[in-house]
Amino acid sequence: MIEVVNPATEEVIGTLAEGTPADVDAAVAAAVKAFPAWAETSADERAKVVRAIIGGLKERAGELAAAMTREMGTPLTFSQKVQVANPVAIAEGVADVLERGYFEPEEIGNSLVFREPVGVVAAITPWNFPLQQMVAKVVPALAAGNTVVLKPSELAPRTADLLGEVVSAATPAGVFQLVHGTGAVVGEALAAHPDVDMVSFTGSTKAGRRVSAAAAETVKRVALELGGKSACVVLDDADLGRAVKIAVANSFMNNGQACSAWTRLLVPAERHDEAVELAAQAAKKYTPADPAEPSTRIGPAVSKAQRDRVVGYIRKGVEEGATLAAGGPEAPLPQGFYVAPTVFGGVTPEMTIAQEEIFGPVLSVMPYADEDDAVRIANSTIYGLAGAVFSADTERALRVARRLRTGQVDINAAAFNTSAPFGGYRQSGNGREFGRFGLDEFCEVKSVQR
């Protein structure tokens, strides 16, 4: 049995039966059996199923938000406005694409080109955006005619169970299977399983390498959404105060536990000290508190291990010579896995906190000499998931954005788009999620010549 712990109180709130390889075999066998009939359903029928899932998510929005706050400590208001709202929007985008004729064959010369399902898809998802990442895989995979075996994070099992109830109510028996457990056991068994045709994984880069290696034995398709160390580039003509305030909010989003967070704030060298002071002042507004309270802006780390990991990085930053401008390694509250929102100044590209994904509320302010230097620093990690550019000149910002080796870039705090492709370059992974691009991942393409 696996204990489920509320990270705000450190109390055990439930237990979870740990899945075994035999459970994986049974789930995959059911998915294999259900695949032929499900693959033959029409796109219109599958669109109706997606609409039914959307309806179920909306009906159970309150339960889902409360579960995520209780299991992984995200503030309740963020759970409601983002952790539930985004998945609903993602699913609606999938339904819209289906209803616009995505699966209609395309004529190319004397060929008809068809999109067909891959087969049995294993979806392995993380704890930080549990519902969003499950929906971003399960819904498009089902919409494309695949059957799905989901292995959610063992840290957010109630959220997965709620989604499982919604999906199971909308789909025929066997089409969707849910297996709880650890990555080392259930995840490994799914990635290596000979009857699984595709693995879609979101998690750390280290774990993604392991998934790829296990899947390679059967040459199955693999889609990976992994870590990030995203840069927010503030150009010299930008409104520095606005840019810093937004960058701090983004870096501390979801208690700092977001792979796409702008954890490196790049500013002109001559304005570095000003930016550090602005960031430190902004950080004071993020007071760690009970995530169940609607006014709370930042809650705990998801677990003791995660809290200790983040604190270790903060100590490393101090050891390597970065200037601690706000926060620090000391616990801000006597109970719960809380981390003080932390801002470092004087961070250089070779420092550990500038290179490795911390996954906590830690922002590194980094000076640059000129625009070329800013681009060089932004591209100086192994990652390439997200990023941002601030400038008074949107065309200049776009030119810089095009030079960043990353899958997404926001200009002047543009809104998140749940229909635009989301995914990374380099060791941030491969493949894309959301909208038409997310559906592409779960389809084979067949050409028939006439």
Distance from C-alpha of 284 to C-alpha of 346, rounded to nearest angstrom: 19
Residues 6+ apart with CB under 8 A from 23: 179, 181, 186
Q: Are 217 and 138 in contact (CB under 8 A)?
A: no
Here the tokens at position 130 are: 């549990």
Distance from C-alpha of 409 to C-alpha of 412, rounded to nearest angstrom: 10
Q: Are 386 and 408 in contact (CB under 8 A)?
A: yes
Q: Are 434 and 418 in contact (CB under 8 A)?
A: yes
Could you give the 3-state DSSP secondary structure of residue 141?
helix
Q: What is the DSSP letter of 50?
A: H
Q: What is the DSSP string of 225-244?
A: E-----EEEE-TTS-HHHHH
Is 34 buried (19+), middle (13-18) or exposed (0-12) by CB count in 10 A?
buried
Matching residue, tokens 């895989």: 137
Strand partners of residue 353? none
Matching residue, tokens 């609607």: 294
Of 71, 188, 225, 357, which is the active-site residue? Answer: 225
Distance from C-alpha of 284 to C-alpha of 337, rounded to nearest angstrom: 19
Q: Are 18 and 185 in contact (CB under 8 A)?
A: yes
Distance from C-alpha of 350 to C-alpha of 270, rounded to nearest angstrom: 20
Q: Is 225 a catalytic residue?
A: yes
Q: Are 424 and 436 in contact (CB under 8 A)?
A: no
Nearest Cα to 440, choosing from 426, 416, 425, 422?
422
Could you give the 3-state DSSP secondary structure of residue 116?
strand
Of 259, 357, 441, 443, which is the active-site residue? Answer: 259
Q: Is 232 a catalytic residue?
A: no
Bin 181: left if φ > 0, else alpha if -120 < ψ < 50, else beta: left
Phi first, then psi: give them for residue 372, nearest 5 degrees.
-60, -40
Phi first, then psi: give them for residue 367, nearest 5 degrees.
-85, 150
Q: State the DSSP H helix or E strand holding residue 355, giving kind and residue range, or none if neither.
A: helix 352-355
Residue 307 vs residues 65, 158, 230, 304, 437: alpha-carbon distances, Å: 22, 22, 21, 5, 35
Q: Catalytic site residues?
A: 225, 259
